Structure 1
Amino acid sequence: MGIGATIHTFDVQLADVDRGVYDELSFKVAQHPSETAAFMSTRVLAYLLEHEEGIAFGDGLSGGDEPAVLVRDMTGALVAWIEVGAPEAERVHRGSMAAERCVVYTHRDPAKVAARWAGKRIHEAEAVRLVSFDAGFVDAVADAVTRRTTMSFSVTEGVVYAEVNGVALTSSLHELRAA
């Protein structure tokens, strides 16, 4: 019998001043045994930075057909395809075709992620955002996350201020375009 997913519970005070989003959130995240803490933490960060009505975690590593995070409108139509890590250009292309907007959040070197996409076909590549954080930020978040995590998370003028289980962390948001 294989090892099951580890369930993490998050209680978050969200204040995204840049987008005018303020909310108290409580959600669970299943971390697949093959998923690194940094990847899971990036999924959580993407969820918080993209938070809006209709947002949900995708089937993830077990699903394959859905992105890490997605947003559906009230009719069930896919509005946002939000990938994490360093997805292949083909997957980004598919996401850009399937949804109104496509975003990739990475915990890896964004220049290397973008270089892998160079010369590859990506639908409306100029509209696909590749978002990254300051070096070490995602790893610090991952180190502070426990099975039950309390967070305050604010975004002001492109800077993230997070307190994760009492650990204060800050990062600028960095953005590249796929094209």
Structure 2
Amino acid sequence: MAIKATIYKATLQIADMDRNLYGEHALTVPLQPSETEERLMVRLLAYALNVPMDDLHGTLQLARGMADADEPDLWHKDLSDQLLHWIEVGQPDDRRLAKACGKARRVSLYCYSHSAAIWYAGIANKITRLRNLDIWQLPHTQSQALAAMAQRSMQLQVSIQDGHVYVSDGNASVEVLPQRLWQGGA
């Protein structure tokens, strides 16, 4: 019998001064049996960093990610079901990234573990043709601090200003400084 996902509920209150975006988003997030709370929290952070200004061109949604190899962790589809933005979390291989770049207008990847630099060195030469790909690295200590905030029911305040991300749950606060490793087209 397969182990089922553990359900987490998160309310994100987002104040993104860089994009002049403010809003509250209630999310139901499944934590897959093979997934860590660190990865779950990075998915929530990726959501906050990529939520669109409005829903006139579709919405950003949690996809099946680890539960379905053909889906990302998050995706933004327009109202005609066109895939605008594919968002991955972790350290996928270059073939998965190339496949994603062929399906979506834009692809973003957020890697976060202490081995991210080694992983990136291994794929850097293989992704040079992927012009619609952006890769961000979250410092390992910061992603672990986010993981410490994980609870089955969360109220998180996310403030973004000048590329700095501040996440607070009322008891603790974490500053996250995403570092760009690759920018497609650059």
TM-score, normalising length: structure 1: 0.92
Correspondence for 2:145 = 140
- Contact 1:133–1:171 under 8 Å retained in 2: yes
Correspondence for 2:171 = 166
Q: Please report the RMSD computed on the Cα atoms of aligned residues, expressed in angstroms.
A: 1.7
Of the structure 1 ranges 102-111 and 69-78, higher mean CA displacement relative to structure 2 is found in 102-111
Q: Which amino acid aligns with 1:12?
A: L
The alignment status of 1:19 with 2:25, answered yes or no, reads: no
What secondary structure sits across from 2:35 in the alignment? coil
Q: Which amino acid aligns with 2:117?
A: A
Task: Report runs of 4+ in structure 1 exceeding 6 Å deviation.
Answer: none
Equivalent positions of 1:13-92 (< 5 A) are 13-52=13-52, 53=55, 54-92=59-97
Counterpart-to-counterpart distance in 1, 2:169 and 2:69 = 29
Q: Which amino acid aligns with 1:117?
A: I
Cα offset for 1:51?
0.8
Cα offset for 1:165?
4.7
- Contact 1:110–1:130 under 8 Å retained in 2: no
Cα offset for 1:111?
2.3
Cα offset for 1:124?
4.1
What secondary structure sits across from 1:47 in the alignment? helix
Cα offset for 1:126?
4.3
Counterpart-to-counterpart distance in 2, 1:110 and 1:130 = 11
Counterpart-to-counterpart distance in 1, 2:128 and 2:135 = 14
Any stretches of 5+ residues in structure 2 without a counterpart? none
The alignment status of 1:131 with 2:136, answered yes or no, reads: yes
What secondary structure sits across from 1:34 in the alignment? coil
Q: Which amino acid aligns with 1:151?
A: L
Cα offset for 1:92?
0.6
The alignment status of 1:114 with 2:120, answered yes or no, reads: yes
